[in-house]
Amino acid sequence: MTDQFSKKGEAWSARFSEPVSDLVKRYTASVFFDKRLAMFDIQGSLAHADMLAAQGIISAQDLADIERGMAQIRAEIEAGQFEWLLDLEDVHLNIEKRLTELVGDAGKRLHTGRSRNDQVATDIRLYVRAAIDDILVQLKALRSALVDLAERHADTILPGFTHLQVAQPITFGHHMLAYVEMFGRDAERLLDARRRVNRLPLGAAALAGTTFPIDRERVARTLGFEDVCHNSLDAVSDRDFAIEVTAACSLLMMHVSRMSEELILWMSPRVGFIDIADRFCTGSSIMPQKKNPDVPELARGKTGRVFGHLTGLLTLMKGQPLAYNKDNQEDKEPLFDTIDTVIDTLRIFADMATGISVKPAAMRAAALQGYATATDLADYLVKKGLPFRDAHEAVARAVRACDSAGCDLAELPLERLREFSDLIGEDVYAVLTLEGSVAARDHVGGTAPNQVRAAIARVRAQLAG
Ligand code: ARG
């Protein structure tokens, strides 16, 4: 009898007449990146062993031995003492080999009714599920930090932009709440994807199922899966759940990137709307005066890498025939990097949100340039009976007059304003102020400070729930 794992270590050596070259071994191995699935691999194996024993496929003694061996392996990994061998290709074979060293035949029986194909699919689903839960915690922290910032600046006015040109006055609190909404949808998307992640592949074995009398529902229950995968070929071969989560992460990073772009712009001395705490910035090795917003810039840059992973994973899947192909081993690094990038980014952003100092005077000065209340003047005329298109034209003429006079609409004397429409009265100045403008947008979703406060209360209730 040859040892299950030969001297060279391959679990299938009995079938082969020559070993693979060192280069091929390195090329095909995944242990150096999939070892981070170790704890999920052990969790899955224990659930499988528990089921095998409950079904009488292995003995109670075997189960006890497997549990004892796995406890030791866990401890060795945690202590950094586990010896990972390239010869053993991947996390699964490394752990199985060590188990067999520790507990003998019981270790060799663990793989009954199972394949690495359904094993790895299970590990990844456990990993992705945990990752989603981590991201949801971080998203909550970021949203609540942004809500706090919004509350401090529910009344702070800045220009809102379209086409990067001053459009209408808004409140900074309202602007922050826009991101709170985006990150809220990101959380919803992940939560929705979680339902599809949370299905058990084990039992699919290599691709066709197994001849042993397994109890898949029991394993699903043990591992906290909501259901089993209903087709064995699909269970071992598709990675759509991972792609879906990477897509949700890409949208999340797209939001982070847009926010980063604004922070960078606002922090530019040319704009000067905000400052970001020093601990998120770096200086220049040559220009002593510099304070650069490195964290938002890097977040904007790292967004590209997550988008790249999404494209990579989609491309990885698109040409694969059913069922499992080794191509799928390439799912891990992009997935791990996506999750790591998102979690680090969210953690830093939640902290950075507390380190943003707002400069209301600069925001106000900017809002006073660019005729931000022109729409308010048009609305005023409409309320006095002028059709909107005529009002639009009258105000456009007033803006041109301001342009040549080099002043703001609110600075034109009443008799000048009345040249554009005799409907204009003394009460127009209340409408032309920034405060009047934002306060007037007083409906759900509007920028009025009391609407911002109401929105904050709604989000807080949601975050507490
Ligand atoms: N390391 C492999 C992976 O990540 C595990 C599954 C290997 N299965 C196989 N039939 N070679 O996909």
Q: Using only the alpha carbons of the chain, give its radius of gyration.
A: 31
Examine the pLDDT at 304 and tell me if it is beyond 90: yes
Distance CA 27, CA 144 (A): 45
Distance CA 269, CA 315 (A): 43
Ligand 1 pocket check for 117: Cβ under 6 Å:
yes
In testing the pocket of ligand 1, which one of 30, 36, 90 has its CB within 8 Å of the most ligand atoms? 90
Distance CA 235, CA 200 (A): 8
Q: What residues form DSSP beta bridges with 458?
A: none
Examine the pLDDT at 128 and tell me if it is beyond 50: yes
Q: Is the pTM of this model over 0.85?
A: yes
Which atom number of ligand 1 is nearest to the Cα of residue 324?
A: 10
Does the domain formed by 117-148+171-360 have CATH 1.20.200.10?
yes
3 state DSSP class of 227: strand
3 state DSSP class of 225: coil
Specify the range with the lowest mean pLDDT, choosing from 5-19, 87-101, 150-164. Answer: 5-19
User: Cα(326) to centroid of ligand 1, in Å?
Assistant: 6
Q: What residues form DSSP beta bridges with 228?
A: 200
Check residues 203 and 284 and name the one with the higher pLDDT.
203
Examine the pLDDT at 4 and tell me if it is beyond 60: no
What sections of 55-110 are H helices per DSSP?
A: 60-78, 91-103, 105-109
pLDDT computed for residue 16 by the predictor: 85
Q: Using 50, 70 and 90 to split pLDDT, how confident is the model at 465?
A: confident
3 state DSSP class of 4: coil
Residue having the nearest C-alpha atom to atom 12 of ligand 1: 329
Rounded to 10 degrees, the C-alpha dihedral 393/399/402/404 comes to -80
What are 22-77's pLDDT values in tens digits?
999 999 999 999 999 999 999 999 999 999 999 999 999 999 999 999 999 999 99
DSSP string, 129-171: HHHHHHHHHHHHHHHHHHHHHHHHTSS-EEEEEETTEEEEEEE
Q: Is 271 left (phi over 0), alpha (psi -120 to 50) or beta?
A: alpha
Quickly count: other Cβ atoms within 10 Å of residue 318's Cβ: 7
Examine the pLDDT at 3 and tell me if it is beyond 70: no
pLDDT computed for residue 1 by the predictor: 37
User: Cα(11) to centroid of ligand 1, in Å?
Assistant: 13
CB 254 within 8 A of CB 303: yes
Residue having the nearest C-alpha atom to atom 4 of ligand 1: 329
User: Cα(398) to centroid of ligand 1, in Å?
Assistant: 71
pLDDT computed for residue 252 by the predictor: 98
Ligand 1 pocket check for 94: Cβ under 6 Å:
no
pLDDT computed for residue 15 by the predictor: 82
What's the whole-number average pLDDT of the chain? 95
pLDDT computed for residue 43 by the predictor: 98
Q: What is the mean pLDDT of residues 245-274?
A: 97
3 state DSSP class of 393: helix
Which atom number of ligand 1 is nearest to the Cα of residue 30?
A: 1
3 state DSSP class of 376: helix
76 by Cβ neighbours in 10 Å (0-12 / 13-18 / 19+) ranks as: middle
CA quadruple 417, 422, 425, 429: dihedral positive or negative? negative
Bond preceding residue 150 cis, omega within 30 of 0: no
What are 197-233's pLDDT values in tens digits?
999 999 999 999 999 999 999 999 999 999 999 999 9
CB 90 within 8 A of CB 116: yes
Examine the pLDDT at 6 and tell me if it is beyond 70: no
pLDDT computed for residue 5 by the predictor: 54
Ligand 1 pocket check for 37: Cβ under 6 Å:
no
Distance CA 222, CA 214 (A): 14
Examine the pLDDT at 2 and tell me if it is beyond 50: no
Helix (H) or strand (E) holding 199: strand 199-200
User: Cα(302) to centroid of ligand 1, in Å?
Assistant: 29
360 by Cβ neighbours in 10 Å (0-12 / 13-18 / 19+) ranks as: middle
User: For the chain, what's the residue count?
Assistant: 465
CA quadruple 308, 309, 313, 319: dihedral positive or negative? positive
354 by Cβ neighbours in 10 Å (0-12 / 13-18 / 19+) ranks as: exposed
Distance CA 229, CA 207 (A): 12
- Secondary structure of 339-368 in HEC code, one letter for each residue: HHHHHHHHHHHHHHHHCEEECHHHHHHHHC
Ligand 1 pocket check for 30: Cβ under 6 Å:
yes
13-112 belongs to which CATH class? mainly alpha
pLDDT computed for residue 106 by the predictor: 98
DSSP string, 303-316: HHHHHHHHHHHHHH
What are 357-377's pLDDT values in tens digits?
999 999 999 999 889 999 999
Rounded to 10 degrees, the C-alpha dihedral 200/204/210/216 comes to 10
Q: Using 50, 70 and 90 to split pLDDT, how confident is the model at 9?
A: low
Q: What residues form DSSP beta bridges with 350?
A: none
pLDDT computed for residue 7 by the predictor: 47
pLDDT computed for residue 186 by the predictor: 98
Q: How far is CA 227 from CA 80, 179, 196, 254, in A?
A: 34, 34, 9, 32
Q: Mind telling me the catalytic residues?
A: 163, 284
Ligand 1 pocket check for 120: Cβ under 6 Å:
yes
Examine the pLDDT at 8 and tell me if it is beyond 80: no
Q: What architecture is the 365-464 domain classified under in CATH?
A: Orthogonal Bundle (1.10)
Residue having the nearest C-alpha atom to atom 10 of ligand 1: 117
Write down the domain spans for the chain: 13-112, 117-148+171-360, 365-464
3 state DSSP class of 292: strand
User: Cα(329) to centroid of ligand 1, in Å?
Assistant: 6
What are 414-446's pLDDT values in tens digits?
999 999 999 999 999 989 999 999 999 999 999
User: Cα(278) to centroid of ligand 1, in Å?
Assistant: 46
Percent of the chain with pLDDT over 70: 98
